[in-house]
Each structure stands twice: as structure tokens, then as C-alpha cells.
Structure 1
Amino acid sequence: MDGTHRAIIIEKEIYWPNGLTLDYGEQKLYWADAKFNFIHRSNLDGTSREPVVQGDLPHPFALTLYEDTLFWTDWNTHSIHACRKQTGEDRRKIHSDIFSPMDIHVFSALRQPTVPTPCSLENGGCSHLCLLSPATPFYQCACPTGVQLLDDRKTCRNGPTQVLLLARRTDLRRISLDTPDFTDIILQADDIRHAIAIDYDPVDGHIYWTDDEVKAIRRSALDGSDAQFVVTSQVNHPDGIAVDWIARNLYWTDTGTDRIEVARLNGTMRKILISEDLDEPRAIVLDPVAGYMYWTDWGEVPKIERADLDGTERLVMANTSLGWPNGLALDYHERKVYWGDAKTDKIELGALSSL
């Protein structure tokens, strides 16, 4: 039950396996196949397979057991059926006229027995999840998705320490880089209509994003909670966003107003930095240590530009062999800038000082 020792136990004569249930007393596995219209059983390792109900099952879905009776739901008959679990005899319909019958379970002390386990006492000493296992020591401590288990094998970190943040139009997702599976977690921020750009403030732990449909800049906690609006007025098509985590400012580009603006992280003290010679400004990234901002413009004359963080000393870094420069990223250590071009279908890079 800790996810290890995965094994295939049935792989022949199986097509649409739906329902699945266990007979704990006789150590048997039962399953229904809606394509082959049968209910079969086997030992728990897949051996000694035999039919229980064969044919005349339009679309069996879910299974459960109670003492000597097997119950199942059927999508086509819209009913709950039953039979004797050993022979399949005494078949009967016990409830009908059910709209779309899905899962079914029996609640009984016989089906949910209580036994002492390593997880019974103080969660096995685990800080988060205690997962039972048939192998010594018969349990494993585990952590939420993307969170590392510390060296004591019992305690999880408070959360992920290295993450990818993904804006995916109608939701925001977090992908932990601490673990090798790269599973994405949907953040619980509500009412996201058309998220485009996203950035993170490591000091206060806020995520900031632009929403092109509601024409606003929003923020939330890293888990998506406490979502709030930061900038809502005179925002047309906010495309790029970047957090200055040192000076505590927020920068964004707007392809509707053709501006680059800045404000405090709470949206106050707003200022237009650049409003001339901008056609379609998109991505923006900051190097607050060096005092520079960089942005892409995919307008009629596509280019990548740089300016001081106060908008002065503006400089074109690249304006040849560009089509639709979109994404932009800085490598602070190597002093490189990366960009993606949606027209040339390339990801390119150059030195920050010699583009």
C-alpha cells in the first residue's frame, strides 16, 4: 500500500475491467468486464481464475460482497443485481430504475475489520502519511506530492523548496523539482479566466499573475489560497509580469496600452515607466541585483530590449532574426538571456552584454 512492488496479475482475456472487489475470508479477487460481459474471480495473485457470472451482463460496472452474496451495478439495466458469490446462482435484481448507477459498497464490520497496525499508534510516528505494507517493517512514512521525506524517514519538509509555476489559462499549477516525478498540483485560486504570465515573490511567498479576460493582476499564497486583486484599473491586455524581490516592486507589460508599468507589490504607487516605441511588449524579466529589466516586443519590428529598472538608459539588445519573441529567462550566474520565438520555432540564447 506504499506503491512499491507493482505487479500485473491479470493480462489475458481482459478488455474493459470495471468493478473490482475482494473476498477477505476466502482471499479471492472478483472483477467485472463490460466488454466480455462476465464476472470472474481468482486468487489474489491472479491464479486459479474461474467464471462466476458469464454472459447476459449488458454492462456491469461496480462490485461488492456481503457474506455469501455478490452485488453489482449495471449501466444498461439501470439496476443493482445480486447472486451467490461461489456459483453465480440465484441471480436477481434487487433495485431498479436507477439513473446511471455507478459505484457500490457494503458497510459492515465484516467488510471493514479493525486490526492493530504499525499506523494505529500515533500515525506510526510519521509527520504526514503512514502507508501500510506487507513487507517489514510493514509500513512506510510518505509525504504529500512534491514534498521530500527527510533523512529520519518519518518527517516531511514543510513543503516543496524548488518549484516550477505554470499558468495554464484557466488554472495555475505547481510542479515540485524536489522529487523526480514532476507531478503537477492545481492551485486552489478561484475564478481564473485567462492567466498568461506568472511570477513569484520568495520573500512573502506570493504568486502574481496576469489575467487577460478580467483585465487584472492578481496574487495569492503559494497554495492558491487568499487570492486577491492587485491592479484592476487601466489594464487592457496584461502579458508579462515580473517581481523585484529586492526593492519590493511589481513590473508588467500591457499589449493593449503598449506600456511597461511598475507599482508596489500591493498595487499602490503605480508608475508608467515606458510608453513610447512599444508595439507588442510581451515577456519581461528582471535582474534586480544589476538593476536591469529586459523585455520582448513581437510587433512589426520584433526586438529584445533592456533598460534600467527606473525605465532609463533604454537599449535594443537584439532586433535581427526575430519573429515572435515570446518567453524570456535570465541565467544570472552565467550572465545569459534565453528567449523563445514562436515564429522561427527556436529557443535561443545570448550573453547579456553582447547581444
Structure 2
Amino acid sequence: MFTKISSALDFDIRDSRIYWTDVKSKAIARAYVNGSNVEKIIDYGLDSPEGKIYWCAIQGHIESARMDGSGRSIIVTSSRPFAMSLYQDKIYWSDWETGQLSVANKHGGNKTVLHSNLEQVTSVAVYHDWGRQGWTTCTSTEGECPHLCLGGSCVCQAHYTYHDGRCLPPSSFLLASTKNAVSRLIIDTDDCPDSPLPILGLRNVKMIEYDPVHNTLFWLDGRAPAIKKWTPSGGPSGGSGSISVVVGISHHPVAFALDPVYRVIFWSCASEGTINATRLDNGSSSTSLVIQTHPTEKPRYLAVHASKG
């Protein structure tokens, strides 16, 4: 399910549909949660019990219509309405021109200003202990789905395949790093081509290595500097996991290479001109000197031929 530029989303729990605004085509569209039956119907706000959709119009008012786009009507006027939210019989919205946060009856009239002198409120949400109540076929099967339950069907996260009650990870993929993220990339897929790994606090990632046997990612943190590792919690399909340091800041590592067969990381220290080896055994590590280079040499890039030892 692809859109040109979507700026707002909402979900109809009764019909298992997603509604969104498409800024480029200036329309409101909808589709089922599995991505099927995409259609344009007419910024935001679903009233599921009454079967209506509400949105902010650039012309200076808030409108409503039935879920299929028919029966349009103006609810209230406002100079430049931007963000809005619904709760029971009330509609709340922000106005970028007046700097106000207001409320009105969603059937029209009785406008009240709640706050003034606000600077471009971009989102409004109503919190109440009752929340949104409803029932779908997901309610009865959600506990059986390892990742997600959408519209009564089990769905896996990006790049995973659902089979016999399990979400199976991809058999082949690429890993690519940017300064503050590491992503998994799948070349031949109709799914999202890249999926960021849930690793928190990444800063200045210089290089990465992956251990497929233990499903562990290693990277060089250029800010520390240090070599760190991350293994997702609960196995390949687990959550955020934990981060630990393999080679600390006192050694000043500048490059490394992984031998996944013998579980050894080779790394260079620019300040001392050495190439070292750190063995990874049962969560602990031990380091030994491999090569002492000339003091003027500063090895920057390493490669390991694992089968040659």
C-alpha cells in the first residue's frame, strides 16, 4: 500500500480500514488493514459509532462526511485549522493563524476557545480512561499471533513470513549502516525494501559485522570509540535486545573484522599501531596481541579469511 505524501492516519475498528490524507493528490483515501482495496473518497478524524469522517479544510473550516465520502457538510469555521481530534460529541482542533486550541460540538456550533497564544500546534490527542472500545475478529485471535493480528489474520513484521503459527525470518538479506542507524535490506520483495533494526542510541556508526550463527550484530562506535554488539531479545524475531561493549574506549579501536567460525574479532589500535584479537567465549572476552606494526603505521582496514584460519 503506497501513497504519494501521507500526512495523517486513522483507523476504523468496526470495518478494519485505515484512512489517510494524501497531500499531493489532495484527497482522503482508505484501504483494509492488509493493504487491499485502496480507494480515494474525499485532514483527519474518524467517528466510528456514527460512521463519519472529519477533516480540516484549507479554506478555513472543518468538514464531515460519511465514510464513503457522501453527505459533506461544514461543522465549524476557523481561520487556519491544522490538527484535530474527536471524543464523544466534541471536536478539538488547533488554529495556526490565531494560535488557539478550541472545542466545539461535532454536530455544529458552541465553539469555545480552550487556550490561546500557542505556537503552531501540529497534533491534538484526547486522553480518557475509557479509551476506544470495540470488538473485532482480532480480539479473539490476537494471543495466537506471534507479531501482529490485523483484521483477524496473523501478519508478521517487515521481511518476515508467517507459516504454521510462526513468523520466519528472511533467509538472506543485506545489512547497511548510516551514521545513526543499521537497516536490513531485502532486494527482491514487494514488502518494505529496508527495515531499521531496533537498536537504541546509535551514534557515529563507522563499520558493521554480522554473526549469522549467534544472530549478533557488531559495530564500531566512532564517538566512544568502542566495538559494541547487539543481539535481539527472544531470538531472530525478538524485540530491542541488549547492547554490550566488546572492546572498550581505553583501547581506541579504529577498525575491526569478525571471524564467525572461531568467534574472534580482529581490531586495530591506531594510537599504538597494533592489530589485536579478542576471543568471544560464553559472553566473556580475552584479548591478545597479533601484530605489532611500525610506530608510524596506523592500520585502518582489516579483512579475515576464516577458512584459512
TM-score normalized by structure 2? 0.71
1:78-107 per-position Cα deviation (integer Å, ceiling 9, x unaligned): 543233433x323222x2247555313364
Unaligned runs of 5+ in 2: 1-32, 233-238
**Which of the numbers 82, 98, 101 marks the counterpart of 1:80?**
101
**Which of the numbers 148, 154, 158 marks the counterpart of 1:145?**
158
Shift of 1:62: 1.3
- Partners of 1:75 and 1:63 in 2: how far apart? 15
**Which of the numbers 186, 192, 199 marks the counterpart of 1:188?**
199
After superposition, where does 1:245-284 map in structure 2 within 5 Å? 245-265=260-280, 266-273=284-291, 275-276=293-294, 281-284=299-302
Unaligned runs of 5+ in 1: 11-16, 133-138, 292-308, 310-355
- Partners of 1:261 and 1:178 in 2: how far apart? 39
1:89 is aligned to 109
C-alpha contact 1:30 1:41 (8 A) present in aligned 2: yes
Matched, 1:3 2:35: yes
After superposition, where does 1:1-355 map in structure 2 within 5 Å? 1-10=33-42, 17=43, 20-33=44-57, 35-54=58-77, 56-67=78-89, 69-86=90-107, 88-93=108-113, 95-97=114-116, 99=118, 101=121, 102-105=123-126, 107=128, 112-115=132-135, 117-123=136-142, 125-132=144-151, 139-150=152-163, 152=164, 154-157=165-168, 159-175=169-185, 180-190=191-201, 192-222=202-232, 225-232=241-248, 235-236=251-252, 238-239=254-255, 241-265=256-280, 266-273=284-291, 275-276=293-294, 281-289=299-307, 291=308, 309=309
- Partners of 1:128 and 1:217 in 2: how far apart? 31
SS at match of 2:139: coil
What RMSD over aligned residues (CA atoms) do the two structures have, in Å? 3.2
- Partners of 2:185 and 2:196 in 1: how far apart? 6
SS at match of 2:142: helix
1:219-273 per-position Cα deviation (integer Å, ceiling 9, x unaligned): 221466332222226644513x221122221112455544433221354132232
- Partners of 1:174 and 1:40 in 2: how far apart? 42
C-alpha contact 1:63 1:72 (8 A) present in aligned 2: yes
SS at match of 2:242: coil
Percent of aligned positions that are identical: 22
C-alpha contact 1:29 1:42 (8 A) present in aligned 2: yes
Q: 1:231 to 1:224 in 2, by over 3 A?
A: farther
TM-score normalized by structure 1? 0.63
Query: Which amino acid is 1:142 matched to?
Result: V
User: Per chain length, whose mean CA-contact separation is higher, i.e. which structure has more relative contact order (CA < 8 Å, sep 6+)?
Assistant: 2
Paired residues in the alignment total 265
- Partners of 1:148 and 1:230 in 2: how far apart? 32
